[in-house]
Amino acid sequence: LAKTTQPISMDSYEGQEVNITCSHNNIATNDYITWYQQFPSQGPRFIIQGYKTKVTNEVASLFIPADRKSSTLSLPRVSLSDTAVYYCLVGDGYSGGYQKVTFGIGRKLQVIP
Amino acid sequence: GAGVSQSPSNKVTEKGKDVELRCDPISGHTALYWYRQSLGQGLEFLIYFQGNSAPDKSGLPSDRFSAERTGGSVSTLTIQRTQQEDSAVYLCASSGTIDTQYFGPGTRLTVL
């Protein structure tokens, strides 16, 4: 399984764009990159997933360079409600295949008023 | 449809007692995961079920922990002879497509 590493915590002011980077040097050809968000006392929640280049949805953008050894989650104009722990994961992209992925310790984002 | 549900939401037990935690996955999801999360820590993988295949039990911390999934749907995580270090939030997730896991609200277990 590809291992992911992330710095532990970061602070940001409301209204700023926040970029959170994750390293996954051993990512395999079939692996997708998925980001989750976890609020206190809740289970993680899917944010965005991608394989290469750029993916955007209503919540965030995900930038993946050509070598796919890292990825960057971009949150536009964060608000206090974006304070959470963010996890990046890589895992086998075969639908119906073995999909065990492992969560690291994540990165805590604290949004400051 | 409904999301992943877990019961009970909170469980307080005495050291040495057995506990059962239940997970109802999203209907039709073939994959089911159990994780454990201690306060301020990341998620610790416990066990994984995929369809009718043999489960991956590689994350179970000791033989006091076991899990089963009946009929490919509901799963029960059993902890025998609970210890204080078992206190944590136990999270269940199910998945039906590529790597997207949908989590339940968790069961907070406190062992006194």
Rounded Cα–Cα distance for residues B112 and B110 (Å): 6
pLDDT value at residue B98: 61
Fold of A9-112: Immunoglobulin-like (2.60.40)
pLDDT value at residue A97: 44
* Shortest Cα distance, chain A CAs vs residue B92, angstroms: 8
- Using a CB-CB cut-off of 8 Å, the residues of chain A touching B104 are 43
Cβ-Cβ contacts under 8 Å between A and B: the total is 61
Rounded Cα–Cα distance for residues A34 and A89 (Å): 5
Q: What are B28-78's pLDDT values in tens digits?
A: 888 899 999 988 788 888 998 988 888 889 889 999 999 999 887 999 999
Q: Between residues 39 and 78 of chain B, which touch chain A (CB distance below 8 Å)?
A: 41-43, 45, 48, 50-51, 56
Identify the CATH homologous superfamily for domain B5-111. Answer: Immunoglobulins (2.60.40.10)
Rounded Cα–Cα distance for residues B34 and B104 (Å): 10
For residue A95, pLDDT over 70 is answered with no
pLDDT value at residue A102: 66
pLDDT value at residue A3: 60
B66 torsion bin: left (phi>0), alpha (psi -120 to 50), beta (else): beta
Domain ranges of chain A: 9-112
